[in-house]
């Protein structure tokens, strides 16, 4: 694919900073900021509306919109789709390759932000921050006993960039870290002291279980009724990865019957399946659930980093080059 003569780049995400926009302009791009309405993400935009917005674009910096074969077929001039994030389960990568497009992710841009968020949820749910504040607001200032993260056993499911960032942070808590991953790295274990285990053993031994795996057909509802029943009584579940990794209905039952001590959730099944919204609402109502709206990567610093990675990927592709290692997930050129 030769360098593109079109340099129009459409951004369908909020919080796209001026420095990243200026980078695009400095490299000859026309920048069109088209954030979704308040309270919505670009995943809520109608496909026909997306097609209209992207009609003459060569680059698209996208959040959670579905990138489908019909949409790509309707946009022959769209050469590069840059995810401002690292998941790409909503992108038809096979179609992108077939149609000669490039799809990139913002590899490394949000690792620190999501890892910080993960540790924050562990502490918040373990120390019962939400329930304590609710009691105080109601006039009850009695102390609720919580659970330390210090010296606990933490099980990580998945060990990508974010998982490894969590491991570094847990070292400051003197935690014992168990890891379940399809790709164990003996040198990394020797360096950090993590212990690789099977999933069943990890669930049985861990005081905190934190998910850092991609969502695939094989990992969908990886944490189901059986998995939750096998967890240590009083354990905490943390999910800052993808909603579909956990069967939220099973999680709700495990919290309601007292088997689990609590949950820290940044993602929900209902983000992609509206039928689960009543389950999400029921989870949000529980005093031992601390939740955020898929905001783990959304710090000022994290979004600035991912914005710039996406912008650099777009410019590189439009110039006919190859984006940074780890960023390309589909290249049909």
Q: What is the pLDDT of residue 3?
A: 45
Q: Indicate the length of the chain as a whole number.
A: 333
Residue 2 pLDDT > 60? no
Strand order in 262-265's β-sheet? Answer: 195-196, 176-180, 153-157, 208-211, 236-239, 262-265, 289-291
Q: Who wins on pLDDT, 116 or 272?
A: 116
d(CA 185, CA 237) in angstroms, rounded, equals: 25
Residues assigned a catalytic role: 242, 271, 294
- Report the CATH architecture of 8-109+299-331: 3-Layer(aba) Sandwich (3.40)
d(CA 233, CA 121) in angstroms, rounded, equals: 19
Residues of the chain with pLDDT > 70, as a percent, come to 98
d(CA 67, CA 90) in angstroms, rounded, equals: 6
User: pLDDT tens-digit profile of 229-287?
Assistant: 999 999 999 999 999 999 999 999 999 999 999 999 999 999 989 999 999 999 999 99
Query: Where in the chain is CATH 3.40.50.720?
Result: 8-109+299-331, 111-291
- The model's pTM: 0.89
What's phi and psi for 285, nearest 5 deg?
-80, -15
Residue 192 half-sphere exposure toward CB, CA atoms < 13 A: 25
Residue 60's H or E segment, with its range, is strand 59-62
Q: What is the pLDDT of residue 41?
A: 85
- Report the CATH architecture of 111-291: 3-Layer(aba) Sandwich (3.40)
User: pLDDT tens-digit profile of 120-161?
Assistant: 999 999 999 999 999 999 999 999 999 999 999 999 999 999
Q: Are 156 and 166 in contact (CB under 8 A)?
A: yes
Residue 1 pLDDT > 60? no
């Amino acid at each position: 694919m030769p360098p593109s003569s079109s340099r129009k780049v459409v951004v369908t995400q909020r919080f796209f900073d001026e420095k990243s926009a200026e980078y695009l302009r400095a490299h000859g791009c026309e920048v069109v900021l088209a954030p979704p309405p308040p309270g919505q993400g670009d995943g809520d935009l109608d496909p026909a509306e997306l097609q209209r917005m992207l009609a003459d674009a060569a680059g698209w910096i996208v959040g959670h919109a579905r990138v489908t074969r019909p949409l790509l077929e309707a946009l022959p001039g769209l050469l590069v789709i840059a995810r401002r994030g690292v998941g790409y389960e909503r992108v038809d990568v096979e179609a992108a390759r077939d149609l000669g497009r490039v799809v990139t992710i913002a590899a490394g841009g949000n690792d620190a932000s999501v890892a910080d968020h993960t540790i924050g949820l562990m502490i918040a749910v373990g120390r019962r921050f939400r329930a304590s504040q609710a009691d105080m607001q109601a006039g009850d200032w009695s102390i609720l006993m919580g659970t330390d993260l210090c010296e606990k056993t933490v099980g990580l499911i998945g060990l990508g960039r974010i998982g490894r960032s969590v491991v570094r942070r847990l070292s400051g808590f003197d935690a014992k870290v168990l890891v379940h991953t399809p790709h164990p790295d003996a040198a990394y274990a020797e360096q950090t002291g993590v212990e690789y285990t099977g999933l069943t053993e990890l669930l049985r031994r861990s005081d905190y279980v934190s998910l850092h795996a991609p969502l695939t057909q094989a990992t969908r509802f990886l944490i189901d009724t059986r998995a939750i029943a096998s967890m240590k009584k009083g354990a905490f579940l943390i999910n800052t990865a993808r909603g579909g990794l956990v069967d939220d209905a099973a999680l709700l039952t495990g919290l309601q019957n007292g088997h689990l001590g609590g949950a820290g959730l940044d993602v929900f099944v209902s983000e992609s399946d509206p039928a689960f919204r009543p389950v999400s609402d029921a989870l949000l109502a529980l005093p031992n659930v601390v939740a955020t709206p898929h905001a783990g990567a959304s710090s000022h610093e994290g979004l600035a980093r991912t914005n710039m990675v996406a912008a650099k990927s777009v410019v590189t592709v439009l110039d006919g080059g190859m984006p940074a290692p780890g960023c390309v997930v589909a290249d049909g050129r």
